[in-house]
Structure 1
Amino acid sequence: MYLIGEFREKDAVRAAIRMLRETGVRPSELDLFSEEPVEFPRGVLDRPSRMSLVSVLGAMAFGSLATAFIYWTQHNYRLVTGGMPLFSFWATGVITFEMTMLGAIVATFALFLWESGLVRKRDYSAPVPEVDPGAICLRVRCRAEDAPQAIAAIRRAGGHQR
């Protein structure tokens, strides 16, 4: 079940989010809609992101795989090098660096697509409100038995239900 509350002030929305969070609503069940960006202080509607961790892990994985592939390639094809080493980190440094950066970029972009909801399954039955100029709409996903508490929190904060 989805509830939509309409607010005119950012402080009222912040109060509604705080009250809804106190009743047990998770941040992933709350969505804001407005004509312009709404910024809140840290902690109001935080959704954890693992972007930096995934970026570093992607870089490490791609860099390690690139170095291992280069090592395997240089040892798999026997060459007479005249006493020079078959595998040299100096010779593979550029390729390793480029593949490391590619890994960071690919991992970051993939997680961006995932967190934005573009590649995962979404609930297409969720109503998207028409937002009037100057209004901020708060959509709450809740169970039917929790709806009266959510409606009361929206009204106490100064919003009205659509």
Structure 2
Amino acid sequence: MTFHKRKHLGKTIKAFSYNVLGVVLPFILSLIPILFLKKYDKIESFLDEGEFLIFASGLYTGALFLFGENTASIKKMHDKILSALCIWLLIICSTSYAIIYCVQLLKLNAGIDLPFIRIYSLIIFFIAVLASYRSVFIDFLKTYPQVDVEKISKQDVDNIVNDI
């Protein structure tokens, strides 16, 4: 691996780690009293209440911005698909959380399938983690349009000569 690629990968992993850690820090800090008090059943409440959908929304929002800012750098088909899906996945996970919240608020718990919500939340969250990683990876590529400086300079000189 070349120096440039190692540096790119290092910056990507660092930025990605900050991004994900910042989003899931409330969950991580909540684990401390849960583990200290040995209330392990409370860990599932993060999934049951759709908290990971909120975390996913934060990651999708960042990924959506970075994909949008770096459209020239998106070359691989899976990145193009992921970029296009980000807005829809953001809407889906945000709407899903709102529905789960309303159902819990109205105490309609009979209509909630907890195993489905747990699996669904984790799948949506892990796709968001992938989207976040790929968007940060692409952001550090920074593909800029190719500019032929000599050609532009020659054209400028030709324009000056023609004006004289």
As a proportion of its length, which structure holds more strand?
A: 1
The structure richer in helix per residue is: 2
- State the structure with more CA Rg: 1
Higher RCO structure, 1 or 2 (CA under 8 Å, sep 6+) = 1
